[in-house]
DNA sequence: AAGACGGGGTA
DNA sequence: TACCCAGTCTT
């Protein structure tokens, strides 16, 4: 009877979590009521913003715009001014647009209606729907992803949409349908204060007994992320042939690994160069790296032409260079070369 | 799928 | 000083 056992476990989980929440819940300004407008404003403010940072702005904002009608009637610049210091100003612009929609057509009464408002994604729609409307929607923010990954001891990369869906389904299964708003806030508060990214305080955790990661001792390693793009530390040289003048194409140089431990470590840079006599004028600065077995090339236009033979004169074949995925910078550089009448040809030296 | 968005907090 | 944080929207 695995289903029955599962249901029983989920029920116990809810009891433990909510008992902990009831005993430890913080008094926050937006918890004084479950008023839709106040909950909504707080959830938008709390996107990418810490509770402590949001509180003073929240209080000021509500004083300035005490009800949705006031917000809807305000000018955008007034709203932006009240938002100043919070960052991500598109949140304020979306909120303002959404306020006009709510003022005109009424408070949303479902997850879908909430989700349709500008600035309300899956998280915000679920949070407001559960806290203000009492609807059984699981709100999955970064905290909940961390808690869910540890409860299930699931080391799949947490930024993949499919994996996030799995964690959301777990949260949905655990959700207390009679107190969805409290349950969601309890999960998030657990993640923020106990189930910490580093150094989780398992001894203080109300649901330790339900945690598969804790049982396996893997809690510190979760949630897992996509494997870091791997830069192969191999002396690969890339030959680019660039058509420079009406005369034809010219082979140009290449690149060596950039040094240092900085952001550019692992990229490849051209050696210092001299200007060739034939007036080759516009050669890019090239950086490339092997990322997950794919060649990536970035090309910067450089005011000074550069050409230099490789010191050792050796070339290595780069696989499928003509199919190299160019990043945004490289595409811009190539487009710029083409606009200037120079057709870049990519070729493989050997 | 990947990057922009903006502050503040932290190594 | 530079990196990190993590929802939503855009491309």
Residues in chain A: 350
Nucleotide nearest A90 (Cα, C1'): B5
Quickly give A86 CA vs B9 C1' distance in Å.
14
Cα A183–A187–A188 angle (5° rounding)?
Answer: 120
Give the pLDDT of residue A224. Answer: 84
On strand C, nucleotides with any atom < 7 Å from a protein CB are 2-3, 5-9
A143 contact to strand C (CB, 7 A limit): yes
Active site (annotated) includes residue A43: yes
Quickly give A124 CA vs C9 C1' distance in Å.
14
Nucleotide nearest A145 (Cα, C1'): C6
Give the pLDDT of residue A158. Answer: 86
How distant is the alpha carbon of residue A73 from its chain centre? 33
CB < 7 A from strand B, the residues are: A 48-50, 52-53, 85-90, 160-161, 327-328
Q: Which residues contact A178 (CB under 8 A, 6 or more apart)?
A: none
pLDDT in tens, A104-117: 999 999 999 999 99
A3, A15, A32, A43: the catalytic one is A43
Q: Per CA to C1' distance, which residue is closest to B7?
A: A87
pTM: 0.69
pLDDT in tens, A49-82: 888 889 999 999 999 999 999 999 999 999 999 9
Cα A94–A97–A101 angle (5° rounding)?
Answer: 130
Quickly give A319 CA vs B6 C1' distance in Å.
40
- Alpha-carbon distance A52 to A45, whole Å? 11
3-class secondary-structure state, position A345: strand
pLDDT in tens, A150-203: 999 998 888 888 888 899 999 999 999 999 999 999 999 999 889 988 888 999
Tokens of A78: 């007034």
A49 contact to strand C (CB, 7 A limit): no
pLDDT in tens, A242-281: 333 333 333 333 333 333 333 233 333 333 222 223 332 2
Is the Cβ–Cβ distance between A175 and A134 less than 8 Å? no
Which letter does DSSP use for residue A248 in this model? E
A182-204: burial string, b at 16+ Cβ within 10 Å, e else: bbbbbbbbbbbebbbeeebebee
Assign residue A175 a region: left if phi > 0, alpha if psi is -120 to 50, beta otherwise?
beta
Residue the block writes with tokens 């490849």: A268
- How far are the Cα atoms of A2, A114, A117, A302, A307 from residue A310, in angstroms, in the given order? 66, 60, 58, 19, 9
Quickly give A41 CA vs C1 C1' distance in Å.
34
């Amino acid at each position: 009877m695995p289903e029955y056992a599962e249901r029983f476990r989920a029920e116990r989980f809810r009891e433990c979590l909510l008992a902990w929440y009831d005993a430890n819940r913080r008094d926050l300004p937006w918890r004084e009521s479950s008023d839709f407008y106040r909950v909504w404003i707080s959830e938008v403010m709390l996107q990418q913003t810490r509770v402590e940072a949001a509180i003073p702005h929240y209080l000021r904002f509500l004083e300035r715009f005490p009800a949705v009608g006031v917000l809807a009637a305000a000018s955008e610049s007034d709203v932006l001014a009240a938002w100043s210091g919070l960052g991500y100003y598109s949140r304020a612009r979306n909120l303002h647009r959404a306020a006009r929609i709510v003022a005109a057509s009424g408070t949303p009464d479902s997850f879908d209606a909430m989700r349709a408002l500008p600035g309300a994604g899956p998280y915000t729609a679920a949070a407001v729907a559960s806290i203000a409307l009492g609807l059984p929607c699981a709100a999955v923010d970064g905290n909940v992803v961390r808690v869910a990954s540890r409860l299930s001891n699931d080391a799949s990369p947490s930024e993949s949409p499919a994996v996030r869906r799995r964690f959301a389904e777990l949260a949905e299964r655990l959700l207390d349908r009679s107190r969805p708003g409290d349950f969601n806030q309890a999960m998030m508060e657990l993640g923020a204060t106990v189930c910490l990214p580093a150094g989780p305080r398992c001894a203080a955790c109300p649901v330790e007994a339900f945690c598969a990661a804790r049982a396996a001792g893997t809690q510190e390693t979760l949630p897992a992320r996509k494997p870091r793009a791997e830069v192969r530390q191999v002396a690969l040289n890339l030959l680019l042939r660039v058509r420079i003048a009406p005369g034809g194409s010219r082979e140009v140089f290449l690149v060596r690994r950039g040094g240092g431990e900085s952001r550019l470590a692992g990229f490849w840079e051209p050696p210092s160069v001299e200007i060739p006599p034939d007036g080759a004028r516009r050669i890019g600065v090239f950086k490339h790296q092997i990322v997950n077995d794919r060649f990536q090339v970035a090309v910067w236009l450089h005011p000074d032409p550069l050409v230099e033979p490789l010191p050792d004169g050796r070339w290595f074949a780069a696989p499928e260079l003509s199919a190299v995925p160019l990043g945004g910078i490289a595409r811009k550089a190539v487009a710029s070369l083409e606009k200037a009448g120079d057709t870049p040809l990519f070729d493989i030296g050997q």
